[in-house]
Structures are given as structure tokens and as C-alpha cells.
């Protein structure tokens, strides 16, 4: 489980980093989305990966088996904020496309 999760985070991060370094705005926004997925999974992961465990102390809590609820709360906030800012970025991207007529991040076509 941990291996799968970490590989998933790693693959998404590397794809995301590669994409945000590309010159097209569309690639940048996909890269940012991938990165934010990776980060969200990462936040989820720092609480420890557990299966079939409630996020609350059960019984007297002596067995100490619980999934940490705080990262789950954090990731929820991060998802909402990331979604909102990505949507905003999309609007600016479209405005830039409309004003410059190109989807290059610098607003002018690439010379190479």
C-alpha cells in the first residue's frame, strides 16, 4: 500500500514538474493540477497509511489504532483552495489567449 501510494505521488510529481516547465499555458495548468493531486495525496500520507481504521478513538482507546483525522481535514481544505485557484488560473489563461492570440506563457509565439 505504501509503495503504491509513494510511486503514485512520485510519478504525478515528476509529470507535474515537467509540465509546468513547458511553454504552453495548457501544459502548465495540467502540470499544476497534477502537482496539486500529488501534494494532496502526500498530505493524506503523512498521517500514516492505514486501512479499515476509523478516524476516531474507539473503545477506551487503549489499542491506539486510529487514522489521524487532522491530515484528512487539511487535505479537504487544500483541495478546495487548490480547485479555486486553478479555476482562477484557467480564466487568466483564457484571457491571455484572447488578448495575445497565442497560448505561449510569454504571450508570443516561440521562435524555435
Partner 1 sequence: MNGWSHHLIVAPILIPVVAAAILLFIEERQRVTKAMVSLASALLLLAVAFILFRIESGPNGYEGVYLLGNWAAPFGVVLVLDGLSALMLLLTALVAVAALVYSLARWHGMGSHFHSMFQLLLMGVNGAFLTGDLFNLFVFFEVMLAASYGLLLHGSGQLRVKAGLHYIAVNLAAALLFLIGVSLIYGTAGTLNMADLAARIPDMEADRRMLMEAGAGVLGIAFLIKAGMWPLCFWLPTAYSAAAAPVAGVFAILSKLGIYVILRLTMLLFDSGPSAGFGSTVLLYGGMATLIFGTIGVLASQALGRLAGFSVLVSSGTLLMVLGINDGAVSSGALLYLVSSTLTISAFFMLIELVERSQDAGANVLAVTMEAYGDADEDEPEEGDGVTMPGTMAILGTCFAMCGILLSGLPPLSGFIAKFAMLSAMMGTGAIGVPPTAAVWALIILVILSGVAALISMTRVGIRTFWTSLEGVVPRVLVIEIVPVMFLLGITLLLTVQANSAMQYMDTTIRTLSNPSLYIDAVRNATVVPGVDSDAGEGD
Task: Select from 64, 99, 111, 112 the one that contacts partner 1 (CB under 8 A).
Answer: 99
Question: Should residue 67 be labelled a site residue for partner 1 when binding is judged by CB under 8 A?
Answer: no
Q: 14 to 53, contacts with partner 1 by CB under 8 A?
A: 20, 25, 28, 32, 35-36, 39, 42-43, 46-47
Provide, rounded to whole angstroms, the least separation between the CB of residue 69 and partner 1: 9
Q: 22 with 34: CB under 8 angstroms?
A: no
Q: Which residues pair with 57 in a beta bridge?
A: none
HSE, side-chain direction, 13 A CA sphere, residue 72: 10
Question: Should residue 85 be labelled a site residue for partner 1 when binding is judged by CB under 8 A?
Answer: yes
Q: Which residues contact 103 (CB under 8 A, 6 or more apart)?
A: 24, 25, 26, 93, 96, 97
Helices (H) and strands (E) in the chain, counts: 3, 0
Residues that bind partner 1 (CB under 8 A): 20, 25, 28, 32, 35-36, 39, 42-43, 46-47, 70-71, 74, 77-78, 81-82, 84-86, 88-89, 92-93, 95-96, 99-100, 105-107
Amino acid at each position: 500500500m505504501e509503495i503504491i501510494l509513494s510511486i503514485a505521488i512520485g510519478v504525478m510529481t515528476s509529470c507535474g514538474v515537467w509540465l509546468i516547465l513547458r511553454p504552453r499555458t495548457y501544459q502548465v495548468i495540467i502540470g499544476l493540477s497534477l502537482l496539486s493531486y500529488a501534494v494532496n495525496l502526500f498530505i493524506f500520507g503523512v498521517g500514516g497509511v492505514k486501512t479499515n481504521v476509523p478516524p476516531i478513538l474507539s473503545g477506551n482507546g487503549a489499542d491506539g489504532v486510529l487514522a489521524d483525522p487532522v491530515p484528512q481535514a487539511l487535505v479537504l481544505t487544500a483541495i478546495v483552495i487548490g480547485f479555486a485557484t486553478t479555476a482562477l488560473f484557467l480564466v487568466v489563461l483564457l484571457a491571455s489567449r484572447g488578448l495575445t492570440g497565442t497560448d505561449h506563457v510569454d504571450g508570443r509565439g516561440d521562435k524555435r
